[in-house]
Amino acid sequence: MRTVIVGGSLVGLTAAASLQLNGDEVTVLEQAPEVRAAGAGIGLWPNALREFDRIGIGATVRALGSRIDTWFHDADGRRIRAAGSAASDHRFLLVPRPALNSLLADTVGRDRIRTGARATGYTEDGPEVVVHLADGTDLRADLLIGADGVYSRTRAQLVPGSEAVAHDGHYAWRALVPAGDERPEGTVLTVGRDRTRGGYARVTEGRTMWMVNQFDAGPLTGGKRDRALARARNLAGAGWHDDLLRMIAETPEEAVLENQIMVVPPLDRWTSPRVALIGDAAHGLSPHISAGGTLGVEDAGVLRAALAAGPDTRTALARYEAARTARFTEVRAHAAAVEQAVGAREFAERYAAFSHWMLTTAPAG
């Protein structure tokens, strides 16, 4: 099967490698001049690692990252876990994003990835789909996969009126910095005052990632680092998190990533007979559940399995859509509950419930 994937980042590249297992002839279109990954580190759950095992890179991904045993804290540094939750509900792997994307690109084969290639739309033409590129050329395929992120062109055409919307007042700041003398096991996540959440974790031996998330951020003044620092003080009651404040204060301004969080509204369709959405293009979520990437990798596995089972593309895509929209109804309910949690204890309970649900209901692929 000739498959064109729009978007050469985490989910598009994973889908490409997964569909190569089915014997697909895959072409990835990436608008950027090179495969790259915005961002610092990404927390991956075992659900994603299983698909990486299947495409043969699980061991390398595990070696790239570091295993995090999550502890939550309140603003005064008290460690909190939900009563009755299992240790496995708190484990994930933190991986540097650029290294992960590079590994995925090598796995797919660089010759299968066309960089500097921007898709502008498509036409479904009987048993084929014609993908239109900004340079005026077309590509004919049997299947088009839109893995083109929250601002997806593919989604705009498949589901008109589905533009990503700002998650009101929600900002995230983060940076990857040289590891210093901070606690190497990390603080991972502090649920602070005024709806601020953040902390830091060691991504690799020599690199630490700090992050600050703020709901209802209010007016943004000053530079990116100062904006992050102002919110991080909500995490550092009684001086317990001075190392986080120091880490942020010492980060060069240009190394600080700042995002207004954008989300994709629930869609009434993810597919048509020859087109499927996957990853953030289908379900861009607020990152406060740290799960969008893992769920996108799950999408790739479910799509691979559905297409392998046949009997034809249309039926397989309908099966993929039914499975994933059902899962995302639950994800969105958990995400809302975690977002609305008041205080660190309630947060820990709701996050553990989400995590347990994620792990125990993961698709078999």
Ligand X SMILES: Cc1cc2nc3c(=O)[nH]c(=O)nc-3n(C[C@H](O)[C@H](O)[C@H](O)COP(=O)(O)OP(=O)(O)OC[C@H]3O[C@@H](n4cnc5c(N)ncnc54)[C@H](O)[C@@H]3O)c2cc1C
Q: Which of 293, 319, 321, 324 binds ligand X (CB under 6 A)?
A: 293
| Cis peptide bond prior to 311, omega within 30° of 0 | yes
Size of the site for ligand X (CB under 6 A): 30
Candidates 75, 119, 267, 305; binder of ligand X (CB under 6 A) is 119
Nearer to ligand X among residue 274 and residue 296 (C-beta): 296
Task: Tell which one of 7, 65, 96, 186 touches ligand X (CB under 6 A).
Answer: 7
Instruction: In whole angstroms, give the CA distance from residue 206 to residue 202.
Output: 8
Dist. CA 355–CA 365, nearest whole Å: 19
Q: Is 291 in the site for ligand X (CB under 6 A)?
A: yes
Q: Is 203 one of the binding residues for ligand X (CB under 6 A)?
A: no
Interface region with ligand X, contact rule CB under 6 A, candidates 82-90, 220-228, 283-291, 335-343: 283-291
Is 256 near ligand X (CB under 6 A)? no
Which residue in the set 3, 4, 5, 8 belongs to the binding site for ligand X (CB under 6 A)? 8
Closer to ligand X at the Cβ: 4 or 75? 4
With CB under 6 A as the contact rule, the residue among 96, 149, 198, 199 that binds ligand X is 149
Regarding 20 and contact with ligand X (CB under 6 A), the answer is no
Whole-number Å distance between alpha carbons of 274 and 3:
10
Nearer to ligand X, 236 or 293 (CB): 293
Least separation in angstroms between CB 293 and ligand X: 3
Residues binding ligand X (CB under 6 A): 6-12, 29-32, 42-43, 118-119, 147-149, 153, 172, 259, 279-280, 287, 290-294, 296
